[in-house]
Amino acid sequence: MPVQILAFLLFFQVYLTSQPAGAIVYRSVDGGQTWQDASGGLPNGLQVRDVFSEGGAILLAAESGLFRNANPFSTPNWEKPGFLNMTVNGIFPGLNGPYVYNSGKGLFQEISGTGIWVQKYPDFKDRMVFTVLEIPGGSLFIGCDNGLFRSNDGGKNWKQIFVEDGIMSITTANGALVGSGFRGLWRSTDNGNHWERVQAGEGVAFQIALLDEGIAAVTSGPERAIEEIANGLLFSSNSGKTWEHLDKGLPPVRRIYDIEQAGGNLFCSLDTGIYRSSDRGKTWELLRPVKGEQRFELAVSGQTLYAVVVAVVDGC
């Protein structure tokens, strides 16, 4: 065997052994400049569906259940609640702890401090739930594929308050509700009784994220040829009344998956990698290219940024 080939094979073997096997979760404490593998304790080949951060904990919704790292600033210590032995399709914020969602069994929430998860709101057991929003001292909203539902008595009774679109994400800012759906972005100023469509012409609105200075939205972008896919990234500083583009510095052909803020920086996950902007979207810097068809979802805990490899689900 030629010496050059032998040297290459030895180098390649060292390279492979230096790469984390089955790395799923990456963590950065320096604004995305460097990344550490934080997957220790997770099963190899874990199929992650959603990522959630609350109260310092990082939660993963996965095909094989829920995984939680209660102290993400130390050595990774992932735990799986044994009581919740089912596929978790999504995780949503709640005033009394997060909700987890199974597409066949509905919403569940942990009885605080017990490790026991109980089913909540059985009216939604057979519905496709996309989002949950609870307002302190006020209403509870659940967005589904067939509209938006509201309860004013803690989930005992429900009223469908929006039927024109499926609501995939919803947030509140300065008393206004802003929702994303198949037909775009929607806004209500009377607790969901009446809605107006805002920022027409941006296609499907997949996600809304509440940032320090306003609201960001990921859209499918104006209709164009398939080979020119370019999702839109929008921002509103006035509670959803008007929107501006934050994506002019991103690659012209791209798929945008997620947007988060950590400190004064914005972080965006694309099909080409993770980007950072320190000037509110005027310019973007590629921090971490993707490998193959990796798709990252982002989560923030304090100043720590997490990037999690999630499974690509058909149709999403």
Tens digit of each residue's pLDDT (9 = 90 or more) over 23-73:
899 999 999 999 999 998 899 889 999 999 987 889 999 999 999 988 766
Instruction: Give the tens place of pLDDT for each residue, 90-136.
Output: 999 999 999 999 999 999 999 987 888 999 999 998 899 999 999 99
Q: How far is CA 291 from the centre of its chain?
A: 20
CB 40 within 8 A of CB 76: yes
Instruction: Give the tens place of pLDDT for each residue, 234-258.
Output: 999 999 999 999 999 999 888 999 9
CB 266 within 8 A of CB 275: no
CA 190 → CA 151, 178, 193, 292, distances in Å? 14, 11, 6, 46
Q: What are the CB-based long-range contacts (under 8 Å, 24+) for 40-45?
A: 40/75, 40/76, 40/77, 40/78, 41/76, 41/77, 41/78, 42/67, 42/76, 42/78
Of 52, 21, 49, 50, nearest to 37 by C-alpha is: 21
Domains of the chain: 24-309 (2.130.10.10)
